[in-house]
Amino acid sequence: MKKIAFIGLGNMGLPMAVNLKASGYQVIGSDVVDTACQAAEAAGITLAGDAQAVVQDCDAAILMLPNGEIASNVAAGVLPDMPAASLLIDCSTIDVKTAKQIHKQAAKHKKKCLDAPVSGGVVGAENGTLTFMVGGDDAAFESGRPLLDVMGGKVVHCGDGGAGQAAKICNNMLLAISMIGTGEAFALAEKLGLDQNRLFDVVSTSSGSCWSVNTYCPVPGVGPTSPSDNDYKPGFAVSLMLKDLKLAMAASDEVGAHVHMGKEATQIYDRMSELGYGDDDFSSIIKQLGLL
């Protein structure tokens, strides 16, 4: 596999494309926004017009787009123009239903397909350490794996089409809930007069330990460096967490899953967004507990 079309060169897509190019692939990019195109050219990515133009002769096309509606439209536009036996990889975070529809469209056009959303944020994209959660059949997975290994530190084949998106929203729903719980525990400790570094020492090695405490503690100056030490600058913005929670709620409605805490977390992050904190890191929930 040599020629890769990369569609969507934003905060995540551009560093991913740059890593592919640096490891020897021929990467041809496309984006609809001028500033994104200029940044891509400045980073050494060759552009070749619109999405249909860049997929000509490609071995694989990678999408890194804002949402399911856009990803589905772009996929529908490029699939007929992609060469036979080429591979479509959608790395955008989108709803499970649309992801499955994209797999069906790809099958109709006899193209291989993976949904491969990521965890790890912009830093993971830059460092090539993203976690990829991948859905699709074994042949598509084996064909896409070398590309994902370049852009990621961990690649998990989660199951058939849509399974990657399912894993992504389950993980992020759990993360949202655990961060709210972490914020509440540290806020309660403060009110009880308990030193927060002592609480960290206890919880991080006890049954309450979790990523939200151990790696991403929302209290400034406590635990490893995290966005709380940088005035809650992202990191992972409230608006992105809210997007993922809404996808999780849509999926749970469709299958009738009981997600009591997931619903509560969605309302809490929705309220933070309404209050104007959409751009802050999601761990800033600890500062807003009294307002929600």
Q: Shortest gap between Cβ of 262 and ligand NAD (angstroms)?
A: 18
Q: What angle do CA 33, 39, 43 make, to 5 degrees?
A: 140
Phi, psi (rounded to 5 degrees) for 205: -120, 20
**Is 168 among the catalytic positions?**
yes
Nearer Cβ to ligand NAD (189/237) = 237
Q: Shortest gap between Cβ of 238 and ligand NAD (angstroms)?
A: 12
Of the candidates 22, 33, 188, 202, which one interacts with ligand NAD according to CB under 6 A? 33
Q: Shortest gap between Cβ of 120 and ligand NAD (angstroms)?
A: 7
Nearer Cβ to ligand NAD (121/208) = 121
Side-chain-side CA neighbours of residue 56 (13 Å): 7
Of the candidates 4, 29, 30, 284, which one interacts with ligand NAD according to CB under 6 A? 30
Spatial distance between the Cα atoms of 32 and 162, rounded to a whole number of angstroms? 26
- Piece of 32-40, 204-212, 256-264, 281-289 that binds ligand NAD (CB under 6 A): 32-40
Partner residues linked to 154 by β-bridges: 131
Q: Shortest gap between Cβ of 189 and ligand NAD (angstroms)?
A: 29
From residue 36 to residue 75, the character string flagging contacts with ligand NAD as x (rule: CB under 6 A) and all else as - is x--------------x------------xxx---x---x-
- Piece of 31-39, 181-189, 223-231, 284-292 that binds ligand NAD (CB under 6 A): 31-39
- Residue 9 binds to ligand NAD (criterion: CB under 6 A): yes
- Piece of 132-140, 221-229, 236-244, 265-273 that binds ligand NAD (CB under 6 A): 236-244
Spatial distance between the Cα atoms of 129 and 149, rounded to a whole number of angstroms? 9
Of the candidates 26, 32, 105, 145, which one interacts with ligand NAD according to CB under 6 A? 32
Dihedral sign for Cα 56, 62, 65, 68, please: positive
Q: Position of tokens 């089409």?
A: 161
Q: Shortest gap between Cβ of 21 and ligand NAD (angstroms)?
A: 17
Of 168, 191, 233, 263, which residue is the catalytic one? 168
Nearer Cβ to ligand NAD (196/212) = 212
Partner residues linked to 156 by β-bridges: 133
CB neighbours of residue 147 within 10 Å: 25
List contacts with ligand NAD (CB under 6 A): 7-13, 30-33, 36, 51, 64-66, 70, 74, 92-93, 118, 121-122, 236, 240, 243
Residues with active-site annotation: 168
